[in-house]
Structure 1
Amino acid sequence: MTGYLRNGYCEVPASDYGNHAVAAEVTEEFLEFSARQGNDLRGVVSPGCKWCLCATRWLEAFEARTREPAGDKIVPKVFLNATNFKALDKIDINNLKQFAGK
């Protein structure tokens, strides 16, 4: 189950220093990118899974998309209605909106 508290919600308690606030659908390209950054999530999630991502890792993917061969595919689709407002501590809302799912 996703979420820092493994309760299915992108809650961000004070103990969550990773700010797992971004509700997103991961792609194979994102999982490969994350593994290269030192956090291999492939043992926990697979492409197409909805997951609460660390705001910083989502932002890293967003910023790296212009340098990566996979381009925009490394940036997971965001579900704004399920993303915790604490994501805005790290990410501009307009950047999240660019990759918002419908």
Structure 2
Amino acid sequence: MANEKNVYGRPLQLCCGNTGFTREGFCYVPDADIGNHSVCAIVDEPFLAYSAERGNDLITPRPDMMFPGLTPGDRWCLCAARWLEAYHAGVAPRINLEATHHKALDLIPLETLEIYSSKAL
């Protein structure tokens, strides 16, 4: 995780507790993460409902996968493709750009991410 950078090329900040592909709290993208879990999202009800409708229930706890279940306001490392899908559907959650890995830029333009920055509230 050392030396990982956010979308601004600065050191990647912690997203939250037990989250991300590695469950270390950082949204970095190791080689094994083919899902690109790079976006530090602040989930809300519309996004959680949309995700469940798309077959990805992020609300129900899954202890066997070290997944606590999410409630509105929680931070979670989302796949960049899922965030972009939610963006096109009009339900993209806010994000913490300081904790969003630069690999998100492989799929999402920085200008789009900045519109959803938690600092733009």
Give the whole-Å Cα distance in 2 for the aligned partners of 1:63 and 1:96: 13
Aligned equivalent of 1:64, options 76, 89, 95: 89
CA distance in 2, matches of 1:28, 1:17: 26
Indicate the residue corresponding to 2:20 in structure 1. 3
Partner of residue 96, structure 2: 79
TM-score, length-scaled by structure 2: 0.75
- Tell me which protein shows more helix as a share of its residues: 1
Amino acid in the other structure paired with 1:75:
A
Larger Cα Rg: Structure 1 or Structure 2?
2
Could you tell me which residue of structure 1 aligns to residue 30 of structure 2?
13
Identical positions, percent:
50
Amino acid corresponding to residue 81 of structure 1 in structure 2: E
- Specify the alignment match of 1:27 in structure 2: 44
**Residue number in structure 1 paired with 2:9:** none
Matched residues, number: 94
TM-score (norm 1): 0.89
Distance 1:7 1:56 in 2: 21
Which consecutive aligned stretches of 4+ in structure 1 deviate over 2 angstroms post-superposition? none
State the Cα distance separating 1:28 from its structure 2 match: 0.8
Q: Are residue 45 (structure 1) and residue 62 (structure 2) matched?
A: no
Name stretches of at least 5 consecutive residues in structure 2 with no aligned partner: 1-17, 61-68
- Residue 54 of structure 1 pairs with residue 110 of structure 2: no
Structure 1: which 5+ runs fail to align? 66-73
Root mean square deviation of aligned Cα = 0.7
